[in-house]
Amino acid sequence: MELYFLGTNAGLPTTQRNVTSVALRMLEERRSSWLFDCGEATQHQILHSPLKLSRLEKIFITHMHGDHVFGLPGLLSSRASQEGSPPLTVYGPAGLKAFLEATLNATQSRIDFGLEIVEHSGGVIFEDSQIKVEARALEHRIESYGYRMTEKDRPGSLNMELLQEWGVRPGPEYGKLKNGESITVNGRLITSDQVLGAPKRGRIVTILGDTRPTPGIHPLADGADVLVHEATFTDEFADLAHKYYHSTAVQAAEAAKKAGVGELILTHFSSRYKDQDQLRPLLQEARSVFPNTQLAIEHQTFPIRPSAQEREKE
């Protein structure tokens, strides 16, 4: 499980950065990727990435501002041109369905894969045996949401030394033991509890849309291994951030500290910050409050690791 940033700029693209989009890659877990927001030119960014449209399973839209949705019709049309594309579900706030239907119909775009559009107002919006997705409203100029992805607990590690000692070879038997079943090898009954370690806590990833500081962030971010939070401005522009319903790097760090997250990744930077050198003050300000902070960098992978506390338990 890892994050891959396709766009990190706020409002407008620049020659250095594209507008907002980030992928959650779960190739080992689900053999698919999920996309969060789809600003203009996201599909071009995907062409320069290891991501594949055919493996895109779900798209989550935080809010309906153009820098978060203008790339969606083009991406869907391009995906439709690839034969055999599997079904895709797009989640987002009210207005998403009308926007997509109008643009796809007006351009006579043929979407011949199964496309489901789900408008929501928060709560649990998806859950299966592997993962649960919750949404909660934030505070922005229009309806804006954050998403919390909670991976279900995974089976513990097999005791390989003991399995080898008892003559269990790699293969289907390993899978049965992982699933809690018992097997018989050389006349010996082997139960899963004999060879399986304690379950591993599922990882938690929180990705927020545009927002001012608001109490709604805490339930989404509480105990998350990774929090992706907008940081449009440095602290000197706190008044401007408040006026336009955005956050500063310090405010993002304060939210991360309060929620006890493992790692904070800042994104959605104002175009006034032209390059990495000009973004460094945002990182420094955030780290003064929450040391384990990173800047989102386009076309860079950020692995989702369990927080330090969880690693100690394991």
List binding-site positions for Zn(2+). Answer: 63, 65, 67-68, 140, 210, 268
In a 13 Å sphere around the CA of 188, the CA atoms on its Cβ side amount to 12
Find, among 226, 225, 233, the residue nearest to 200 by Cα. Answer: 225
Give CA–CA dist 298/217, Å, rounded. 24
Alpha carbon distances (Å) from 172 to 155, 180, 182, 283 = 16, 13, 12, 48
Of the candidates 37, 67, 193, 225, the residue annotated as catalytic is: 67
**Contact between 70 and 103 (Cβ < 8 Å):** no
**Contact between 286 and 205 (Cβ < 8 Å):** no
Q: Is 67 a catalytic residue?
A: yes
Give CA–CA dist 40/21, Å, rounded. 9
In a 13 Å sphere around the CA of 308, the CA atoms on its Cβ side amount to 5
Residue 189, C-beta contacts closer than 8 angstroms, at least 6 positions apart = 182, 183
Left, alpha or beta for 122 (phi > 0: left; psi -120 to 50: alpha)?
left
Give CA–CA dist 314/33, Å, rounded. 27
Give CA–CA dist 100/69, Å, rounded. 10
Alpha carbon distances (Å) from 287 to 55, 184, 233 = 35, 54, 15
Show binding-site residues. 63, 65, 67-68, 140, 210, 268
Alpha carbon distances (Å) from 185 to 46, 160, 182, 206 = 48, 15, 10, 44
Question: What are the residue numbers of the active site?
Answer: 67
